[in-house]
Amino acid sequence: MPERAPSHKAGSQLAESKSPYLLQHADNPVAWYPWGKKAFQKAKEEDKPVFLSIGYATCHWCHVMAHESFEDTEVADLLNRCFVSVKVDREERPDVDQVYMTVCQALTGRGGWPLSIFMTPDKKPFFAGTYFPKHSRAGMGMPGFMDICANIADVWKNNRSQLMESSDKITAAIQPAEQAHPGVLVDKDTLNQCFQHFEKAFDPQWGGFGSAPKFPSPHNYSFLLRWHARTGNKTAVKMVEKSLQSMRQGGIFDHIGLGFHRYSVDERWLVPHFEKMLYDQAMLSFAYTDLFQVTKKQYYAQVVREIAAYVLRDMTSPEGGFYSAEDADSEGEEGLFYVWKPQEIVAHLGPEEGDLFCRFYNITEKGNFEHNLSIPHMTESVGAFAARNAIKTQELEQRLGTCREKLFHIREKRVHPFKDDKILSAWNGLMIAALSRASQALGEPSYRDAAKRSADFVLTAMREGDGRLYRRYRLGESAFSGVLEDYAFMVWGLIELYETTFEVQYLKEALDLNELMHTLFRDDAGGGFFFVGKDSEQMIVQSKDIYDGATPSGNSVAVMNLMRLARMTGDTALEQHAEKSMKAFSAQIMSHPMGFAQFLAACDFIIGPTQEIVVVGNPGDKVTEQMLQAVKQAYLPNKVLLFRGKEDSYKDLDKIAPYAGKMASAVSDRPTAFWCQQFACQEPITAIEKLESVIMSA
């Protein structure tokens, strides 16, 4: 894809953009404008309604609508005559996307991309939808885009008052309702209700929740593991194991190149939407890491390693930041890059190994995808297949590994899906957090180093002079004010990175960004945080997002960050802010707890018990390292961990957490762990065996 699209007659204003999505449309015959004053001023001057199209570079149905309509001169002529057309990359401008997606969901009961909005020059919407074919499909109940545009143009000209009245009503309807009372803190009963809802929705045959399509939603599984830790409920762990095993065995996992696709279109996790998103890799890495820590089964640790291998190989920029996504399509067809025929496998691997690979990964003549092609997937474990075929398990693993490596290099010669190489602060924050946690649990320093490179990149290349975050970086340009999730997710990543490296600068940066987040986003009156900061363009609605969708909400992560930072620093004001935010949303959470799994993780932390752990010792000392590793590798979801070295360089920590310095001065040269739980501290621990015993009983 060109970095800059060629000029064209339509006069598109997108060619100077750095957004891969906007550049994909820069040579359309539609006279696109990027979101901004110029577009809306033109609409006012020419007395035209605005057509707003929102999507992203790796969106399959965005490509379909683009090919059918936006590349079509007949459609373009109608749009250019009757509308001012605006293109928005929803990943660059989530503030715009959030507002108009709310409109679409309110008007149609559903949402998705491409998002198609018609509105006044004052940005007030009066019609919304997602994908529209060029012409109506009566049998499918789908109106045609040409008909919609023509009808709206006619009403705008001849009965505009009807549209203006609709736009006023819609704008009023999407304004957030005022909270009648301050609410209460969520209690254990709500956590239990959430677990019960998950138990009822669980699919015991294939794992996951509900029927097709199935989304990974990794924070749901992390919540269930927290519930197990709190109650000892074994069903919670069984649900997580069944789901995460099924995902890893299914076609939603890329068995050749590693990493997970976006979601499964069926209930079996077999046929995926082949797009790969950075945030899915991060959140799934968290879930598998948690499950490894709970069960100690190396199988789950291996999945974490596979996710990391994919991200570090294919999704990491030379500067250290992580790219956003890979498309589902290649050569104009979804999934073509990832699917196989048996003859192709045998041609590359030979008859014996080819047959083995096809039988294990279910590559058949009939296929399980379009055009009799097959998506590699597993229907039984390596051990079960080995036993059934009288092969030693280790031998089978080695043979399959060699086959996969050969096929990976063959597949690399195919036309690759498009890679969206922009770097987003929020999604990098998630990946920093995930790699840091994986480094702790698996003892893998390369994950720590990759997390550090990303954090250092974002903290230098994606900040303004006063420390505020930019949303996006690409081709040397940082742009767009960060939204709440950029701050919250980066703070999360920095907290995890500090607990991995114990480099105090990362904890300090987390506190500084958290303070900026408070300044820019906090709702002083009602509690919680607005999606858009005070320094950003103000939309027609000022919302506070709390629903945990494909990624956790900024508010749910912000509340958890506040609690962790409060316990790490001893600053109770942070805890008070967290509790106020929790109360602000408690009514919504208690009414439908299953939709707020990440938020309930923060509730779980607030309810406690929590563990505040400080290890004092010399870096590199054997017992000191054993103590730190014992804490890092344990499943302690409600713990915070500080390390206070004896050297002068660690005195910087005392400014942030003064109690750590007092602990350091209270011990001799012997490594010591200070364990505090639920506002009570135990005697200092100097023996690793004692610390391990305390961890086991936590």
Inform me whether the pLDDT recorded for 139 exceeds 90. no
DSSP 8-state code for residue 3: S
| Residue 10 confidence (pLDDT) | 52
pLDDT band at 416 (very low <50, low <70, confident <90, very high): very high
User: What CATH number has the domain bearing residue 660?
Assistant: 3.40.30.10
Distance of CA 539 to the CA centre of its chain: 24
Sort strands 84-89 and 50-55 into parallel, antiparallel or unpaired.
Answer: parallel
| Residue 4 confidence (pLDDT) | 38
- Domain membership flag for residue 179: no
| Residue 496 confidence (pLDDT) | 98
C-alpha pair distances (Å), 25 with each of 19, 54, 83, 479: 10, 12, 17, 20
Residue bearing the bigger pLDDT, 141 or 478:
478
Cβ atoms of 262 and 49 within 8 Å: the answer is no
Inform me whether the pLDDT recorded for 6 exceeds 70. no
Domain carrying residue 371: 336-416
Residue 303 sits at φ, ψ, to 5 deg, of -65, -40
- Domain membership flag for residue 537: yes
Q: Looking at the structure, tell me whether residues 140 and 284 fall in a common domain.
A: no
Q: Looking at the structure, tell me whether residues 32 and 81 fall in a common domain.
A: yes
Q: Looking at the structure, tell me whether residues 526 and 443 fall in a common domain.
A: yes
Cis bond upstream, residue 609 (ω within 30): yes
- Domain membership flag for residue 6: no
DSSP alpha helix (H) spans, 412-444: 425-442
| Residue written as token pair 């610390």 | 691
- Domain membership flag for residue 646: yes
Q: Write the DSSP assignment of 596-634 as a string of letters.
A: GHHHHHHHHHHHS--EEEEEEE-TT-HHHHHHHHHHHHS
Q: Looking at the structure, tell me whether residues 483 and 585 fall in a common domain.
A: yes
Q: Looking at the structure, tell me whether residues 101 and 212 fall in a common domain.
A: no
Cβ atoms of 322 and 428 within 8 Å: the answer is yes
Average pLDDT of the residues in 248-260: 98
322 pairs with which residues across the strands?
Answer: 316
Percent of residues, the chain, with pLDDT higher than 70: 97
| Residue written as token pair 């696709």 | 261
Q: What does the alpha-carbon distance between residue 495 and residue 291 come to, in Å, rounded to a whole number? A: 21
User: What CATH number has the domain bearing residue 325?
Assistant: 1.50.10.10
| Residue 679 confidence (pLDDT) | 79
| Residue 180 confidence (pLDDT) | 55
Q: Dump pLDDT digits (tens) for 349-373.
A: 999 999 999 999 999 999 999 999 9
Task: Provide the residue type at 690 as one letter.
Answer: K
C-alpha pair distances (Å), 272 with each of 59, 180, 241, 677: 14, 43, 20, 44
| Residue 520 confidence (pLDDT) | 97
Q: Looking at the structure, tell me whether residues 161 and 266 fall in a common domain.
A: no
Closest CA to 87 of 151, 3, 28, 150: 28
Radius of gyration of the chain (CA): 26
Cβ atoms of 114 and 129 within 8 Å: the answer is no
| Residue written as token pair 């570079």 | 57
Q: Which regions of 192-334 does DSSP assign to beta strands (E)?
A: 263-264, 272-273, 276-277, 325-326, 329-330, 333-334
Residue 468 sits at φ, ψ, to 5 deg, of -65, 150
- Which two three-digit tokens encode residue 685? 């621990």
| Residue 178 confidence (pLDDT) | 65
Q: Dump pLDDT digits (tens) for 57-92.
A: 999 999 999 999 999 999 999 999 999 999 999 999
Average pLDDT of the residues in 18-26: 96
| Residue 381 confidence (pLDDT) | 95
Q: Looking at the structure, tell me whether residues 424 and 571 fall in a common domain.
A: yes
Closest CA to 240 of 278, 194, 204, 265: 204
Closest CA to 54 of 121, 3, 109, 130: 130
Q: Looking at the structure, tell me whether residues 296 and 425 fall in a common domain.
A: yes
Inform me whether the pLDDT recorded for 181 exceeds 70. no
| Residue 668 confidence (pLDDT) | 76
Quote the number of domains for the chain. 4
Inform me whether the pLDDT recorded for 669 exceeds 50. yes
Q: Looking at the structure, tell me whether residues 497 and 623 fall in a common domain.
A: no
Task: Provide the residue type at 629 as one letter.
Answer: Q
Closest CA to 238 of 265, 181, 199: 199
Q: Looking at the structure, tell me whether residues 533 and 651 fall in a common domain.
A: no
- Domain membership flag for residue 80: yes
Which residue among 541, 572, 607 closes a domain?
607
Average pLDDT value for the chain: 94
Average pLDDT of the residues in 374-397: 96
- Spatial CB neighbours of 612, under 8 Å, sequence gap ≥ 6: 567, 568, 639, 640, 675, 676, 677
| Residue 136 confidence (pLDDT) | 87
- Which of 283-287, 408-412, 526-530 is the least confident region? 526-530
- Domain membership flag for residue 405: yes
Inform me whether the pLDDT recorded for 3 exceeds 80. no
For 659, half-sphere exposure in the C-beta direction (CA atoms, 13 angstrom radius) is: 15
- Spatial CB neighbours of 594, under 8 Å, sequence gap ≥ 6: 194, 197, 198, 201, 220
**How many other β-carbons are positioned within 10 Å of the β-carbon of residue 31?**
20
| Residue 648 confidence (pLDDT) | 74
Q: Looking at the structure, tell me whether residues 510 and 554 fall in a common domain.
A: yes
- Which of 7-16, 461-470, 479-488 is the least confident region? 7-16
Task: Provide the residue type at 603 as one letter.
Answer: C
| Residue 1 confidence (pLDDT) | 37
- Which two three-digit tokens encode residue 119? 């509105």
- Which two three-digit tokens encode residue 82? 């009757």
Which residue among 540, 575, 607 closes a domain?
607
Cβ atoms of 470 and 482 within 8 Å: the answer is yes
Q: What does the alpha-carbon distance between residue 18 and residue 30 come to, in Å, rounded to a whole number? A: 19
- Domain membership flag for residue 4: no
640 pairs with which residues across the strands?
Answer: 612
- Domain membership flag for residue 13: no
Inform me whether the pLDDT recorded for 149 exceeds 50. yes
Closest CA to 645 of 668, 624, 677, 616: 616
Q: Looking at the structure, tell me whether residues 380 and 445 fall in a common domain.
A: no
The pTM of this model reads 0.95
Q: What does the alpha-carbon distance between residue 120 and residue 26 come to, in Å, rounded to a whole number? A: 24
Q: What does the alpha-carbon distance between residue 454 and residue 319 come to, in Å, rounded to a whole number? A: 8
| Residue 647 confidence (pLDDT) | 79
| Residue 650 confidence (pLDDT) | 81
Which residue among 359, 386, 416 closes a domain?
416
Q: Is the dihedral of CA 571, 573, 574, 575 positive or negative?
A: positive
| Residue 182 confidence (pLDDT) | 65
User: Which H or E run includes 419?
Assistant: strand 419-420
Tell me the three state secondary structure of residue 117: strand
Distance of CA 378 to the CA centre of its chain: 26
Tell me the three state secondary structure of residue 650: helix
Q: What does the alpha-carbon distance between residue 574 and residue 551 come to, in Å, rounded to a whole number? A: 24
